[in-house]
Amino acid sequence: MDEKLNKMKIPEPSRFKGKALLKGKKCVVTGGALGIGAQICYTFAENEAEVIILDFNKEAAEKTKAILSEMIKNSKIHVVAGDVSGRKSLNRSFKEISSIFNGSIDIFVNNVGIIQPCRIEDIVSDEQSKIVDRIIDINFKGTYYCASYAYPLLKNGNEPVFIMIGSCASVGSEGQGVYAGTKAAQRGLLGTLAKEWKAADDYQAVRVGLIEPDYLEKTAITANKQYWLDLAAARRTTVDKISDAAVARTKVPLKREARLTEVSEVVMMYALSTYLNGEALSVSGGKTMRL
Ligand SMILES: NC(=O)c1ccc[n+]([C@@H]2O[C@H](COP(=O)([O-])OP(=O)(O)OC[C@H]3O[C@@H](n4cnc5c(N)ncnc54)[C@H](O)[C@@H]3O)[C@@H](O)[C@H]2O)c1
């Protein structure tokens, strides 16, 4: 079994549970098999949306589908396997999505993202530069191409919205240069998409949003000890000084990291709004407030 499945956090009911706020909505969540993505799928499904999990980890996606189907009565969950970093794969996946949803999408959540800590001056070998390319391929190109494939289907949707999951690291994060760069690039895409996807006489606008979580309870990636060892090495410090829980206690006014439901609830709020557009919202417990 995939090691990530053992560390998988089971999604939980949100504060919107049972309100049927997304009744009949057609939603796609990339990276919906694990972590934040699985929690977003849960929150959507418990509000009666029909959900497609688009993920390259088919085993995890099927497990999440089974968990959600068991926990939420009459939920409609589908799995589409695919790698968001490749146009060939996306072409196949979007054909399948279009056929399941009859050519339209109402809510598309571009959640996939990967991280590998590394200090910029430490990228000295071809092997290490492959990591840089991989993060750019998945986080940046993946978002870009998902947007380009999703748009024709979103245009046919009901009050359509494209929401990206970014990170507060977009303003810069020691030891996470390439990750931070791809998350900052999503801000550039946010403004571009909001301008390109404006309304015209013969078609509706597609709203765009960016949700940037900060310190978070553990997901598959941050439950991995090696991740923290690598981050500590890149920051020239020790693991005990940088864990999300420890840092949140000192830097976040709420003195704790976010629960996954607290991210999925903001995604819901953005999706439910009809006038929020082109905005980046941080879910940082007040750490990134600008007054
Ligand atoms: N975990 C955090 O602390 C944190 C904090 C801020 C922002 N984020 C962002 O939230 C998003 C989700 O993070 P997470 O921690 O839940 O991640 P995760 O590693 O727990 O899950 C990521 C999911 O994406 C899938 N995936 C990865 N690469 C893929 C690809 N090329 N094609 C298709 N599927 C792919 C994985 O199979 C997995 O299901 C990311 O964009 C991340 O940058 C996470």
pLDDT digits (tens, 9 = 90+) for 121-165: 998 899 889 999 999 999 999 999 999 999 999 999 999 999 999
Is the minimum distance from the CB of 167 to ligand 1 under 6 angstroms? yes
How many A from CA of 112 to the centre of ligand 1? 5
Least confident of 9-18, 52-61, 177-186: 9-18
Percent composition of the chain: helix, strand, coil (DSSP 3-state, to 5): 45, 15, 40
How many A from CA of 202 to the centre of ligand 1? 36
pLDDT at 1 over 60: no
Residues 6 or more apart in contact with residue 263 via CB below 8 angstroms: 36, 39, 40, 165, 211, 213, 216, 283
E strand residue ranges, 127-264: 161-165, 207-213
What predicted TM-score, i.e. pTM, was given to this entire model?
Answer: 0.97
How many A from CA of 115 to the centre of ligand 1? 8
pLDDT at 111 over 70: yes
Q: Please name the CATH architecture into which domain 3-218+259-283 falls.
A: 3-Layer(aba) Sandwich (3.40)
pLDDT tens track for 248-274? 999 999 999 999 999 999 999 999 999
pLDDT at position 261, please?
98
pLDDT at 2 over 70: no
How many A from CA of 114 to the centre of ligand 1? 5
Q: Report the atom number in ligand 1 closest to the C-alpha of 183.
A: 43
Residues 6 or more apart in contact with residue 285 via CB below 8 angstroms: 214, 215, 248, 252, 253, 254, 255, 256, 257, 258
DSSP three-state, residue 4: helix
Is the minimum distance from the CB of 109 to ligand 1 under 6 angstroms? no
How many A from CA of 199 to the centre of ligand 1? 31
Residue 68's closest CA among 107, 101, 41? 41
pLDDT at 5 over 80: no
pLDDT at position 141, please?
98
Give, using CA atoms, the residue closest to atom 34 of ligand 1: 55
pLDDT at 6 over 80: no
The enclosing H or E element of 80 equals strand 76-81
Is the minimum distance from the CB of 38 to ligand 1 under 6 angstroms? no
Burial class (CB in 10 A: 0-12, 13-18, 19+), 105: buried
pLDDT tens track for 22-73? 999 999 999 999 999 999 999 999 999 999 999 999 999 999 999 999 999 9
Q: What residue spans define the domains of the chain?
A: 3-218+259-283
CA 97: distance to chain centroid? Answer: 18
Q: Is the backbone of residue 32 left (phi > 0), alpha (psi -120 to 50) or beta?
A: alpha
pLDDT tens track for 187-227? 999 999 999 999 999 999 999 999 999 999 988 878 889 99
What is the number of other CB atoms lying within 10 angstroms of the CB of residue 127?
Answer: 8
